[in-house]
Structure 1
Amino acid sequence: MAQTAEKPNLTEARIAALSMPGKGWSVAAREDAVRRLRATGLPERRDEYWKYTRPDTLTQVAPEPAAVFENDEAPLFDGLDRLKIVFVDGVFDAEASDDLSLEGVRIERLAEADSDLHWARDLYGTLETNGQTPVARPLAALNTAFATDGMLIHVTGVTSKPINIVYRHESTTSDAILHHLIKLDAGAELTVLENGPAAARFNKVMEVDVGDGASFHQVRAQGRDHERRAATHIFARLGAESTFKSFTLTANGVMTRNDCVIELTGDDASAHVAGACVGDGAFHHDDTVFITHDAVNCESRQVFKKVLCNGATGVFQGKILVKAGAQKTDGYQISQSLLLDEDSQFLAKPELEIYADDVACSHGSTSGAIDEDALFYLRSRGVPLAEATDMLTLSFLAEAVEEIEAENLREEINTRMAAWLGRRRG
């Protein structure tokens, strides 16, 4: 990432406004992250991977105020048997959280894990550092350096229920930086659920190390009707015969940038990344995905659907990199948008870079309006225009939602999307 005259000043001002938490085993990784941040500088619009998205509100010293809205709907995932962990404006809420004991899992807070022999010592920041090549991700380096808290989750077996991390937003000027680190031993299984608006400005990193034969599932929902500005990063490394599946539902928010960086390093691994978003008005949503195949007979899927109206903007940047020797690779990528008016826009940059000769890789990107024939069919059978539009919208998003493996979680997401669409037309 090229440095400009303004970058050092911007970067130093942001660093000076933050304090590096505590002492102990994470200090070396944090100091290294600061060095890397200074070398690249914070992102600017002229940087290649930020040309569609203005990073200003994510990099300025003080966050833009974000109003806190009343939410009368039941919290997502509340009807499920899960272990709940709550953060309010980036601060752990022990009273609202469940006991952190769960068979087959060791769960701790980053802010309280101070043993020099801690299992996270050799992993914290490692996947984030790897993910800086070939594309610099300075907001992730800033996170590794200055994260105030997060969860350290070591999975040794098959968990009996999901871990649900809930984010709540109560301060109009909160600036939250959280870093989660998840390690799955060989054969382990874990599902992580995330939901809530988090904070006025939110910077989150999740590093996931998936051991041989292990399985990791993530389903997250990024708030509704909040003026959030968020940058999230997922860095994952997959061992042999392992599985990684991530789905994100986003509704509204002023600016959201979700980065997902995955390395398939073991043979026969599988990585699926999917997202569905519904944006209205002053909404900018950017999904940036980079998947590296560095092993034999691996599969990856990227499925992203965006519904945009009233001038909303959607961005998708997705890349599949197949390294030499990564034969039998199966890489699939699709990004599509449904534009409900002429003021909205969808900007896409799909990429393939292949150095092996026995592969099956494809990508596609389309943008269009509601199918008028389908709309006429529904209207001719007495379905009101608004309801018919919602039905076709849900049908359009279905391919992304189908990437969620658990049927009860798919139903939960579909129900919530239908409610959000109904509220919008109401």
Structure 2
Amino acid sequence: MADLALKQTPTEAMIGSLALPVGGWSDTARKDALARLQGMGLPQRRDEYWKYTRPDTLIQPEPVSAALRGSDDVALFDQIDRIKIVFVDGVYDADASDDLAQEGITIDRLADMPTDLHWARDLYGTLEKNGQTPVARPLAALNTAFAPDGMLIRVTGKPSKPVNFIYRRRTEIADAMLHHCIKLDAGAEMTLLENGPVAARFNGVLEVEVGDQAAFHHVRAQGRDHEQRAATHIFTRLGTESAFKSFTLTANGMMTRNECVIELTGDDAAAHVAGACVGDGADFHHDDTVFVTHDAVNCESRQVFKKVLRNGATGVFQGKILVKEGAQKTDGYQISQSLLLDGDSQFLAKPELEIYADDVACSHGSTSGAIDEDALFYLQSRGVPAAKATDLLTLAFLAEAVAEVEDETLRDEMTGRLTSWLERHAG
């Protein structure tokens, strides 16, 4: 009770600074999320799953400022035929976006859905609420209650084009909350791409319902802003023989916390979540927090996270695999590794397994170390300059995570982004 009392003041201050959308089909879910948020309070450093990451800048009611910078980044996904959906400072920009009418997929805007008859009524906030147990995720509840905009996507077939959420920032002082809901019907398939800076401070939620024999592919590039603070949450539930794959590449950014909560509820389902992170400087802090629940037979999950840190950067990984009773023949794999390019950077890891079934194959591992001096010497002895040799070994280290991207074109895009970042940060 004492801890909750300490949380009440910042929680009520944050709530008081925001406007709760009222009315329409999301009204019940929003009010329920608000009540849950008030009951749990915003995160504090004393919370078990926040002890490695200070939530201060994510929970202060005052807006956060981040300097606008000219683009020094490679263009992403420009060579791919896609459905572009553009947000500027967290608000949907219809003029910059493509026509949303496409075969095999329906796309609506959260802010435009007042009717109680919309399909998303049964999904909005549902997976987020499920994901609050056994670990509280108050920033996600805050989002469900207050997010003013986002996209509602229902996939009924196999659309020929991926959907690309493109985020653009035009204001130095700006907060943004977006809540996206995606439902894949049985046998459907979809690829979602995300890139660009949303706002100086961003709180995002993505809820994905993957139906039986459906497949969802997700590739996200974040951190284009040097000073952005962001907390993102993915909640997904998988049906029988379904597949979920998500990959995130993070470069730059001041503080990023990516949470992914996966429920495998249908037999023979597979979920892969991966990330590659490159950070430079003492202000860089990157946190991946993953919770995978196996609640069905013969399911597979993979967690593959690699972080490259230098000049005092900090990386965090918290990953758990929970195998429930009866979830036999589970195959759970988890690996988190860091490459520290100097003695000032640090990697904090908390891998966990909790298993209540006896016919399983689960493993987890975490390592942290410096660059291989023998490999570095070998490359230099063959004429490769030291900086270039270091970059090549860095890319090789990150390759296992990038390999989780199934599509070759997208995989090349991610490798190109990493290469460009390393070139800009040479030395």
TM-score, normalised to structure 1's length? Answer: 0.99
1:10 aligns with 2:7: no
Structure 2 distance, partners of 1:226, 1:183, is: 33
Could you tell me how far 1:64 is from its partner in structure 2? 2.4
Residue aligning to 1:419 = 420
Residue aligning to 2:290 = 289
Please identify, of 116-125 and 358-367, the stretch whose mean Cα deviation from structure 2 is larger: 116-125
Letter in 1 for 2:303: Q
1:121 aligns with 2:121: yes
Could you tell me how far 1:226 is from its partner in structure 2? 2.4
- Aligned 8 A contact 1:332 1:363 in 2: yes
Structure 2 distance, partners of 1:226, 1:150, is: 24
Counterpart secondary structure, 1:36:
helix
- Aligned 8 A contact 2:74 2:420 in 1: no
Letter in 2 for 1:83: I
Residue aligning to 1:200 = 200
Could you tell me how far 1:251 is from its partner in structure 2? 0.3
Counterpart secondary structure, 2:425:
helix
Counterpart secondary structure, 1:425:
coil
Could you tell me how far 1:122 is from its partner in structure 2? 1.1
Could you tell me how far 1:195 is from its partner in structure 2? 0.3
Residue aligning to 2:172 = 172
Letter in 2 for 1:111: A
Matches within 5 A, 1:178-257: 178-257=178-257
Matches within 5 A, 1:90-101: 90-101=90-101
Q: Deviations over 1:370-422 (max 9, x none)?
A: 00000000000111111000000000000000000000000111011101100
Residue aligning to 1:392 = 393
Residue aligning to 1:150 = 150
Residue aligning to 2:140 = 140
Could you tell me how far 1:171 is from its partner in structure 2? 0.8
Matches within 5 A, 1:302-321: 302-321=303-322
Structure 2 distance, partners of 1:284, 1:213, is: 37
Could you tell me how far 1:159 is from its partner in structure 2? 1.2
Counterpart secondary structure, 1:338:
strand
1:376 aligns with 2:377: yes
Structure 1 distance, partners of 2:210, 2:5, is: 40
- Aligned 8 A contact 1:3 1:40 in 2: no
Q: Deviations over 1:258-315 (max 9, x none)?
A: 0000000000000000000000001000000000000000000000000000000000
Residue aligning to 2:328 = 327
Could you tell me how far 1:74 is from its partner in structure 2? 4.3
Structure 2 distance, partners of 1:2, 1:117, is: 43
Change in Cα spacing, 1:168 to 1:2, as seen in structure 2 (3 Å) is farther
Letter in 1 for 2:153: I
Structure 2 distance, partners of 1:236, 1:22, is: 26
- Aligned 8 A contact 1:2 1:47 in 2: no
Counterpart secondary structure, 2:3:
coil
Structure 2 distance, partners of 1:202, 1:247, is: 19
Unaligned 5+ segments in structure 1 are: none
Letter in 2 for 1:368: G
- Aligned 8 A contact 1:3 1:41 in 2: no
Structure 1 distance, partners of 2:212, 2:277, is: 32
- Aligned 8 A contact 2:64 2:175 in 1: no
1:361 aligns with 2:357: no
Residue aligning to 1:104 = 104
Structure 2 distance, partners of 1:225, 1:89, is: 13
Q: Deviations over 1:44-97 (max 9, x none)?
A: 000000000000000000132101110044431111100000111101111111
Could you tell me how far 1:22 is from its partner in structure 2? 4.0
Structure 1 distance, partners of 2:315, 2:73, is: 26
Counterpart secondary structure, 1:77:
coil
Counterpart secondary structure, 1:139:
helix
Structure 2 distance, partners of 1:372, 1:264, is: 42
Letter in 1 for 2:318: Q
Count of residue pairs the alignment pairs up: 426
Letter in 2 for 1:187: G
- Aligned 8 A contact 2:73 2:224 in 1: no
Structure 1 distance, partners of 2:75, 2:148, is: 25
Change in Cα spacing, 1:147 to 1:411, as seen in structure 2 (3 Å) is same
Could you tell me how far 1:225 is from its partner in structure 2? 4.3
Residue aligning to 1:346 = 347
Letter in 2 for 1:66: A
Could you tell me how far 1:209 is from its partner in structure 2? 0.2
Residue aligning to 2:77 = 77
Counterpart secondary structure, 1:140:
helix
- Aligned 8 A contact 2:181 2:207 in 1: yes
Structure 2 distance, partners of 1:278, 1:29, is: 37
- Aligned 8 A contact 2:64 2:200 in 1: yes
Matches within 5 A, 1:11-90: 11-90=11-90
Q: Deviations over 1:210-263 (max 9, x none)?
A: 000000000000032421000000000000000000000000111000000000
Structure 2 distance, partners of 1:58, 1:81, is: 35
Structure 2 distance, partners of 1:23, 1:35, is: 16
Aligned CA-pair RMSD: 1.0
Q: Deviations over 1:118-159 (max 9, x none)?
A: 001111100000000000000000000000100000000011
Structure 1 distance, partners of 2:74, 2:279, is: 21
Counterpart secondary structure, 2:266:
coil
Counterpart secondary structure, 1:143:
helix
- Aligned 8 A contact 1:84 1:164 in 2: yes
Could you tell me how far 1:115 is from its partner in structure 2? 1.7
Residue aligning to 2:409 = 408
Structure 2 distance, partners of 1:161, 1:271, is: 22
